[in-house]
Amino acid sequence: MLTKAEPDQAEVNDQPARLFLIGAVLVFCAALAAYLTDVAAHRGGLLAWFDLNVYNDAGLITRQLPSYLYIWELSRTIKFTYTPFAAVVFAGGSFLPWAVLRWVMTIASLVSVPVTAWLTLGALGRRGASRAAAALAVGAVALWTEPVVKSLFLGQIEPLLLLLVVWDLTRDDRRRWKGVGIGIAAGIKLVPLLFIPYLLLAGRFRQAAVATATFAATFAIGFVVLPGPSASYWLTGYFIRPGRTGGVDSLVNQSLLGMIARQVGGGVYAEPFWLPVAVVVALGGVAAGAALNRAGKAVPGWVLVGITSVLVSPISWDHHWVWIVPMLAMLAGLAMTAFGRDRWAYLTAALVTAVVFGSWTAKYSGPDAFVPSRGLIGWFVQPRGTEATNLHGWQLLSWNLFVVGGLVSYAVLVAGAWRAWRSQRGRPTAAPGLSSPVEALLARADAVLKSSGALLARDRTRLP
């Protein structure tokens, strides 16, 4: 008599993951459909490509009138502020027709969000359907955060630079050219340079060397192709002037310098206070990130360095906070393997992050209904303009919301690094010739078993 075959145990175990994947696909499709519907209903409200226009014009100037690169203004105070190497990259992009270029950038940025989450989850050891499901779920949430929505609105390169850095950090350490992504990203925008001292402290010397050499190559390429603009950018101190990219005390400058400037009366008065604070925060973030890496927690380590880079950069517009994408993925990945209170703690942290950095609309009716506007920055205390000084009351939180959120994440991760360092100090050291405490423990157990066996054999020989 034929009987129904028992289902394979692996298939039974995979069923929840497959259901999770189906649900995540539906959620991501719904989030993307809602975004595209909003784009179609509000022409120019969600996609204006303003910064992409700056990149494209800079590329055209690089090809035709390179001496004007750092003199040209799209409008008052709107200049090209990226490196000469970035101008060479944008010159290549300017060969595309404008209508093609803007949609290529938009589609690439949309794809980069779930891919960044997928890479982060893979670095945490997540595999298979559950990894794909979590990446899509994180992508659906991240798509409606203020940094991502604003990056898409402006046609910003930020999501692509984030993807480049995360891809590089999550590659196998045996890859000879691991580090090249960080070097290229730093060659376009200087902020990723902070990852080089992190790699050195983490003991990733080859990766740090590759990143440094790649950045040096981008520096050289800029001087070869654009000698005049390169001299203007690097040799006159233009690259370290905070105000070159806009008002330091602007509401959407969510950096430590911006927060201090809004309190003391402007950027000029803030810089003497900001510099020592930024140095301490940068050193703490890099050291703690390296400690996490050495403790086997690489993803929290480089997520901490990414958050640190946004905090200490003189100018960190709201769209620069795209580092919340790998942070959300990290929290989701940790929740997948945690139990009880720990799992709820990770999920709560992810929810709070999504709410704080969410792309909330200012209006729910009228022609501008459901058009995102600065998220919760300035919420409850709506500003008359975009600049302010001498804040008080709710303004201290509302106008510095991303900085506060970043500092809280920074403090939690630094505390985690401290605990990891303390726990490592308390572990017994490995025996000579052994590569880890685990191997030392196994060797000790083997020695005990052998001695017990020898005693038992000796006792048997004494029996009559």
Query: Residue 393, CB half-sphere, CA atoms under 13 Å: how many?
Result: 6
Which residue has tokens 């192709």? 225
Instruction: Write the pLDDT tens digit of every residue in 356-380.
Output: 999 988 777 777 777 887 788 877 6
Whole-number average pLDDT of the chain = 87
Does residue 312 contact residue 256 with C-beta atoms inside 8 Å? yes
Q: Residue 266: pLDDT band by 50, 70, 90 thresholds?
A: confident
Distance, in Å, from the CA atom of 257 to the CA atom of 311, rounded to the nearest integer, reads 8
| pLDDT surpassing 90 at residue 146 | yes
43-84 pLDDT, tens digit per residue, is: 888 999 999 999 999 999 999 999 999 999 887 778 899 999
Supply the DSSP symbol for 75: E
Q: Are the CB atoms for 427 and 420 separated by under 8 Å? A: no
pLDDT of residue 424: 76
Q: What is the mean pLDDT of residues 99-119?
A: 97
For residue 147, the Cα-to-chain-centroid distance in whole angstroms is 11
Measured between alpha carbons, how far apart are the two ends of the chain, in Å? 60
pLDDT, residue 362, reads 76
| Type of residue numbered 320 | H
Question: CA-to-CA distance for 146 and 357, rounded, in angstroms?
Answer: 6
Predicted confidence (pLDDT) at residue 173 exceeds the cutoff of 60: yes
Alpha helices in 44-201 (DSSP H): 50-64, 84-93, 98-123, 128-143, 146-154, 158-169, 180-188, 195-201
Q: Distance between CA atoms of 34 and 327, rounded to whole angstroms? A: 24
Collect contacts of 427-431 with beta carbons under 8 A, ≥24 apart: none
Bridge partners, residue 78, by sequence:
75
Query: Is pLDDT at 404 greater than 50 in this prediction?
Result: yes
d(CA 215, CA 182): 8
- The answer to which of 113-127, 176-190, 255-269, 388-402 has the lowest mean pLDDT is 388-402
